[in-house]
Chain A
Amino acid sequence: MRAIVLLLLLAGSATARADDAVALKAGVFEPARMAPDFTLQGSDGAELKLSRYRGKVVLLGFGFTSCQAVCPVTLGTLAAAHKKLGAQRADLQVVYITVDPQRDDAARMKKYLSSFDPTFIGGTGSEEQLAAVRKEYGIAAEKVAGPDGSYTHSSFVYLIDRAGRLRALMPYGHAPDDYVHDVRLLLASP
């Protein structure tokens, strides 16, 4: 009897995983791997470790505060999604890591991110530290020749579940409702 119950539970969890994969608006990794941990300087003045947010869903993006095109749109979208989540927002953390450490110190990132949502956390560090994090996540970033020191960079956002698994990737341009949809699914999944 116990074996039958166990089998039914296993079958149920497998079905739930498959349903998640189908239902998310973002692109889904299968199987999900653990999101690489990192230690950077947080915009809140504390050490920023991804593992600090275990138990929450993390939306992880990369950009820079002088970005004129992509980052304001992405952060505005994430802020709108955060607001729409209502009480569930307590279980969501947005982490935004700079690709421009020369200009983006912790104070500058805090000021910039707070203009979107005061709960958003920025990450900065040395060129080497940030390059290592980008490599782990497959993030492209390249300085554009010119006086304004702009960058081209990956514009998607990673979705990391409560257990710290890298579950999905949301391409640039998705609406806040798509994030709300996926974050709710991830919050509900084990």
Chain B
Amino acid sequence: MRWRWLAFAPIGGVLGVVAWAAFAPLQFSSREELFEIPKGTYARRMAGDKVEILPSTIRLALGVHDVLLLRNLDDVPQQFGPTVMMPGQSFRLPFEVASDYQFACSAHASGQMTIVVEPQPSSPWARLRWRAINLWEAVA
């Protein structure tokens, strides 16, 4: 009888994780999503390395991660996302409205960069979805 209950333990574990993902509050040390151009990137590109720093789609959520922060740590100006950034310069872009923001961006092969800003994931379902998407993107 006891062994039969043990067979349900994995299911219970999965349900526990799902419940945590749905009900535990989202916590981040910062609301900024940071992307940096490391020192030496220009030299690497000149040497033929294909260096991709910004993904073509960036996903943010209001109240959680709603500030895009770009930094150019290289020694030369760089086209970074939608704009040109000087060496040592940062660009901090806050979002207050949930929407898809399209930026023409010559740094991407598609010529476009999209920032998806989602509403604050305040319901259990929204938190579960937010965590699942982030996990998927981290793994993929």
Interface residues of A (CB under 8 A from B): 21, 25-31, 33, 136-142, 152-156, 169, 171-173
Given contacts A140-B105, A142-B111, contact A29 B90 (CB under 8 A): yes
Of the residues A26, A140, A169, A172, contact of B111 by C-beta under 8 Å: A140
Complex Cα distance, B112 from A152, in Å, reads 10
- Interface contacts (Cβ under 8 Å), in number, total 66
> Of B79, B86, B92, B104, which is within 8 A of A141 by CB?
B104
Residues of B within 8 A of A27 (CB): 68, 91-94
Q: Is there contact, CB below 8 Å, between B111 and A152?
A: yes
- Please name the residue on chain A nearest to B81 by beta carbon: A138
- A140 B106 Cβ-Cβ under 8 A: yes
Given A153-B104, A171-B101, A173-B101, also A138-B90 (CB < 8 A): no
26 residue pairs bridging A and B, Cβ less than 8 Å apart:
A26-B93, A28-B91, A28-B92, A29-B91, A30-B90, A30-B91, A30-B92, A31-B89, A137-B83, A137-B84, A138-B79, A138-B82, A140-B105, A142-B111, A152-B104, A155-B104, A156-B82, A156-B83, A169-B82, A171-B101, A171-B103, A172-B101, A172-B102, A173-B97, A173-B99, A173-B101
Nearest chain-B residue to A28 (Cβ)?
B92
Report the minimum CB–CB distance from A189 to chain B (whole Å). Answer: 16
Q: Are B101 and A154 interface neighbours, CB within 8 A?
A: no
Interface residues of A, dominant DSSP: mixed
The distance from the CB of B39 to the nearest CB of chain A, in whole angstroms, is: 18
Complex alpha-carbon distance, A155 and B82, angstroms: 10
Q: Which residues of B contact A (CB under 8 A)?
A: 68, 79, 82-86, 88-94, 96-97, 99, 101-106, 111
Q: Shortest CB–CB separation between residue A15 and chain B, in angstroms?
A: 17
When the two chains form the complex, which single residue of B84, B93, B99 contacts A138, counting CB atoms closer than 8 Å? B84
For residue B79, which residues in chain A have a CB less than 8 angstroms away from its CB? 138
Distance of A172 Cα from B103 Cα, bound (Å): 9
| Residue of B whose beta carbon sits closest to that of A27 | B93
Closest chain B CB from A34 CB (angstroms): 10
What 4 A-B pairs are tightest by C-beta distance, nearest first?
A27-B93, A138-B84, A140-B104, A138-B83
Q: For the complex, what is the distance from the CA of A139 to the CA of B79, rounded to whole Å?
A: 9
A27–B91 Cα distance when bound, in Å, is 6
Instruction: Contact check, B104 vs A30: say whether CB atoms are below 8 A apart.
Output: no
A28 contacts across to B, CB distance below 8 A: 91-93
